[in-house]
Amino acid sequence: MTAVEFNYKITALEKYLEYFALKLTANQEDAKDLLQETYLKALTYREKFVHKTNLKAWMFTIMKNIFINNYRRKVKANTIIDTTDSLYYLNNSKESSNPTPDSIYHTNEIQEGIERLDKDYRRAFEMFNEGYKYKEIAEKLDLSIGTVKSRIFFSRKKLMDSLKEFRN
């Protein structure tokens, strides 16, 4: 396939690629950037395309791989590596230390909802929220893992029902 034929065929896929890019990024500007990167990579590696295979699938794969690589790069760039002896940066909160009245109210409402749970259910739920694993909760409360899981499940369900105003 000549360069002109290749260029004509990939530009014919533009509307499909635009739609796919928009679905991946959920942002018009990011979708345009992704589309541009996809075209650049396709043109750069044109000789790697095997003639008489599915060009559309090849282009979609390039786009998907670029999106995944960009996402991984972005996550890695936002990762903080704390080399201080005291782990100051990891222990330092990025959020404002002054809570808003709304957040205080919401926190109190949620806490009251938790306190309204039955004592046995509340203890398992609180331990789970503190970071204990199911097995650890079961051992500490002398229960089976199935009982712990069901108590946590029903606690969540009851809280969701009683705190409907916090749902999105």
What are the backbone dihedrals phi and psi of residue 43, each rounded to the nearest 5 degrees, phi first? Answer: -70, -35
Are 157 and 144 in contact by the 8 Å Cβ rule? The answer is no
pLDDT in tens, 92-135: 555 555 667 767 777 788 888 888 888 989 899 889 888 889 99
* DSSP line for 150-163: HHHHHHHHHHHHHT
Angle in degrees, CA 43, 46, 48, rounded to 5? 145
Q: What's the longest Cα–Cα distance across the chain?
A: 74
Rounded Cα–Cα distance for residues 148 and 158 (Å):
15
Are 18 and 35 in contact by the 8 Å Cβ rule? The answer is yes
14, 51, 54: which is closest to 36 by C-alpha?
Answer: 14
Are 6 and 39 in contact by the 8 Å Cβ rule? The answer is no
Contacts from 164-168 at CB under 8 Å and sequence distance 24+?
166/106, 166/109, 166/110
pLDDT exceeds cutoff 80 at 80: no
Structure token pair of residue 128: 């789970």
Rounded Cα–Cα distance for residues 128 and 26 (Å):
34
What are the backbone dihedrals phi and psi of residue 105, each rounded to the nearest 5 degrees, phi first? Answer: -60, -45
| pLDDT band with cut points at 50, 70 and 90 for residue 66 | very high
Using a cut of 0.75, tell me whether the model's pTM lies above it. no
End-to-end C-alpha distance for the chain, whole angstroms: 52
Helix (H, G, I), strand (E, B) or coil at 52: coil
pLDDT at 110: 81
| pLDDT band with cut points at 50, 70 and 90 for residue 82 | low
pLDDT at 34: 95
